[in-house]
Amino acid sequence: MNLALAQDAPPLRVEDLSLSFGGNQVLHDISLHFRPGEITGLIGPNGAGKTSFFNCLTGLYSPQKGHILLGDARLEHTAPTERAALGFSRSFQHVALCPELSVIENVMVGLDRQSKAGWIDAFLPLTRGRAERQNNRALALEALTRLGIAQQAYESPTQLPPGMLRLAEIARAIVGEPRVLLLDEPAAGLNSVETHDLSVALKSLRSPQLVLVVVEHDMDLIMDVCDTIHVLNVGRVLASGDPSHIQANPEVVRVYLGDDDDE
Ligand SMILES: Nc1ncnc2c1ncn2[C@@H]1O[C@H](COP(=O)(O)OP(=O)(O)OP(=O)(O)O)[C@@H](O)[C@H]1O
Ligand SMILES: [Mg+2]
């Protein structure tokens, strides 16, 4: 990877972000910095605000206060589709693949935001539309290959075990080469072998061009793959640091890591 390019990749910064639903304040003055080239973990107890924070980043939720910056670009007032076009991509806490489409077709959906073919191409067999679709299919296959599940490309998601479903979702999220990739509990429902495969896949995604943020309750996975971890607790940043500092933080152990009953 070209070093000059790596230096150009924009960081994601959040400043004083606050979000409320009615009288329920879900996020309180969150200020965080996410560096490209790193895998950042976002952890915390159920209800801490992790998914809400992702929803603010992607534009699904509108925070009442604060700034979201990708490099110098202020994003808090841009629509979700514009943020997607700028390079934001995500996976969801619950598997969200379309059962009527094959795995590769699901991955191709991740390219729709970039499509140059207009809606008319859906009705007319124009060369441009066909060529783009062929190109998208090749890109989708490449993303599936990166995640080690190219052999399942033409299967139905209903036939796949949970680990492969998660990898297929990640393939859909990376196929457009995002600049910011947000993964919400990618290890939920996976067994230990699948979780191991996932951790290998996540490490392979680390790139100087990518801000990668992982929300997860599986602490072995988080401690294994993350360079930096932020801990949220009831909507506030409780701690930030590398895995060894987070594991040794008595307040983090008290509110979260010490709770063996957590998912
Ligand atoms: N659309 C909404 N309307 C009202 N309240 C909401 C909405 N979305 C989230 N909340 C509230 O925000 C708080 C944080 O929820 P959120 O889903 O962000 O937590 P989380 O950290 O992702 O939890 P988990 O680990 O269980 O997924 C909860 O009290 C939740 O009820
Ligand atoms: Mg959540």
pLDDT at 263: 43
Angle at 60 between CA 54 and CA 63, to 5 degrees: 75
Domain boundaries defined on the chain: 1-87+178-263, 101-177
Write phi, then psi, for 130 (nearest 5 degrees): -65, -45
Least confident of 45-54, 84-93, 176-185: 84-93
Specify the pairing of strand 24-34 against strand 12-21: antiparallel
Q: Does residue 2 carry a pLDDT above 50? A: no
- Residue found by looking up tokens 């952890």 in the block: 43
Residues with beta carbon < 5 A to ion ligand 2?
A: 50-51, 93
Q: Label residue 130 by pLDDT band (50, 70, 90).
A: confident
Q: Label residue 89 by pLDDT band (50, 70, 90).
A: very high
pLDDT at 164: 96
pLDDT at 113: 62
Say yes or no: CB of residue 42 within 6 Å of ligand 1.
no
Write phi, then psi, for 106 (nearest 5 degrees): -60, -40
**pTM, rounded to two decimals:** 0.91
Say yes or no: CB of residue 46 within 6 Å of ligand 1.
yes
- Tell me which residue of 185, 183, 180 sits closest to 46, measured CA to CA: 185
Q: For ligand 1, pick from 17, 19, 21, 261 the residue to mutate: most ligand atoms within 8 Å of CB.
A: 21
Q: Label residue 245 by pLDDT band (50, 70, 90).
A: very high
Half-sphere exposure (Cβ direction) of 199: Cα atoms closer than 13 Å: 17
* Choices 3.40.50.300, 3.40.50.970, 3.50.50.60, 3.40.605.10: CATH for 1-87+178-263: 3.40.50.300
Residue pair 249/262 in contact by the 8 Å Cβ criterion: no
**Which ligand is closest to the CA of 28, given by its number?**
1
Q: Whose CA is nearest to atom 9 of ligand 1?
A: 52
pLDDT at 121: 52
